[in-house]
Amino acid sequence: MKKILITRKLLPLSEKYALKIFNAKLNKEDKIINQEDLIKGSNDCDGILSSLTEKIDAGVIAKLSSSVKIISNFAVGYGNIDIVAARKRNIVVTNTPDVLTDATAEIAILILLGAARRAKEGAEWANKKDWKWSADFLMGKQLTGARLGILGMGRIGRAVANIARSFGMIIHYHNRSQLDKNLEKEAIYHNSLESLLSVSDFFSINCPATKETKHIINKDTLKCFPDGAVLSNSARGDMIDDDAMVKSLKSGKIFSLGLDAYNGEPNIHPDYATLPNVFVLPHLGSSTIKTRTAMGNLAVSNLEEFFKTGKCKNTVK
Ligand code: DGY
């Protein structure tokens, strides 16, 4: 039986599945493990089932036991793992695409709506109980018929587009390449980021965190948006230069921001925590029983497939 380290607690069905086919070391108390614990804990293992709370950088990868042949990440994003360093050591890295697409798209829409319709301020007022209805009380921005720019038209970006179409939104996007017509579904392709931003009354970040996308939303690109745009990020914090964003939120250039992923999680930028026009959730994108079970099962079956066949269809390229 192959031995694996499961770095964080999974939902019961997935742990049961792992224990059936592997000698699996579990993290029963679900403590966040540091790099040293990861290296030590996987010392006698053939594989690791990791989570986004572990930063598996080149330094960690260099120190992993030579018995470790695969890192199966419990997420579709894999910015926490240095893929190049893993490849150099012949360690396969896998992720969990598809199964979390719909849940994550729901949260992307929730933060866009929350930011646009001033949900944070609204909830605060409601809890204070001393608000008064008036014709101009907490007026927000309406999604109906507005232009939505999507950065990254992969599975999640396209699922966001599908929901947004039901609001009558007009979809624009920027991606490494233009999609086939059947996937594009009349969304309007922009071959430059600046061109996309210039038409984005609403904007949703759904691209992966890579060297190329780091701080792609910065003081220069923020100027490209129409005044009063509503922005959201349900992917990873890396894409936003937070100081530049805070300035734009304070000046009103950006009307509001919805976040489900941010730099330094769980430590939020102090201005994001206090600004009334920032609506933040604690990385809930895939957090439903259905989706987290499917992700856990897929992360286990990625290991199973790899150990049986020497390869895995969900290998990160
Ligand atoms: C992912 O899969 O990348 C999600 O952010 C994890 O919740």
User: Does 219 map to a domain?
Assistant: yes
| Predicted TM-score of the model (pTM) | 0.95
Per-residue confidence (pLDDT) for residue 282, from 0 to 100: 98
Query: Per-residue confidence at 82, pLDDT binned at 50, 70, 90?
Result: very high
Looking at the chain, the whole-number percentage of residues with pLDDT higher than 90 is 99
Tell me, yes or no, whether 150 and 27 share the same domain: no
Query: Per-residue confidence at 167, pLDDT binned at 50, 70, 90?
Result: very high
Query: Per-residue confidence at 172, pLDDT binned at 50, 70, 90?
Result: very high
Instruction: Please name the residue that has the structure tokens 């989706």.
Output: 291
The pLDDT tens digits for 231-258 are: 999 999 999 999 999 999 999 999 999 9
Give the pLDDT mean for 173-191: 97
User: Which of these is catalytic: 87, 165, 215, 265?
Assistant: 265
- The minimum-distance atom of ligand 1 relative to the CA of 287 is 7
Query: Per-residue confidence at 103, pLDDT binned at 50, 70, 90?
Result: very high
* CA torsion angle 39 40 43 45 (round to 10): -80
Give the pLDDT mean for 277-288: 98
Tell me, yes or no, whether 89 and 129 share the same domain: no
Q: Are the C-beta atoms of 202 and 149 separated by less than 8 Å?
A: yes
**Domains held by the chain: number:** 2
User: Does 172 map to a domain?
Assistant: yes
List the domain range (segments joined by +) for residue 36: 3-99+288-309
Q: Whose CA is nearest to atom 7 of ligand 1?
A: 286
- Mean residue pLDDT of the chain comes to 98
| 220: alpha, beta or left? (left if phi > 0; alpha if psi -120 to 50) | alpha
The pLDDT tens digits for 3-31 are: 999 999 999 999 999 999 999 999 999 99
Per-residue confidence (pLDDT) for residue 139, from 0 to 100: 98
SS (H, E, C) 123-134: HHHHHHCCCCCC
Q: Where are the beta strands (DSSP E) in the chain?
A: 3-6, 23-25, 47-50, 70-73, 92-94, 147-151, 170-174, 188-189, 202-205, 229-233, 254-259, 278-280
Per-residue confidence (pLDDT) for residue 49, from 0 to 100: 98
Per-residue confidence (pLDDT) for residue 181, from 0 to 100: 97
User: Does 298 map to a domain?
Assistant: yes
Pocket test for ligand 1, best of 8, 93, 104 (most atoms within 8 A of CB): 104
Tell me, yes or no, whether 79 and 116 share the same domain: no
Ligand 1 residue neighbourhood (C-beta within 6 Å) = 52, 75-77, 100, 283, 285-286
User: Does 315 map to a domain?
Assistant: no
Residue 302 has which token pair? 């990625």
Q: CA–CA distance from 179 to each of 84, 172, 174 (Å)?
A: 27, 12, 10
Residue 279 has which token pair? 């609506």
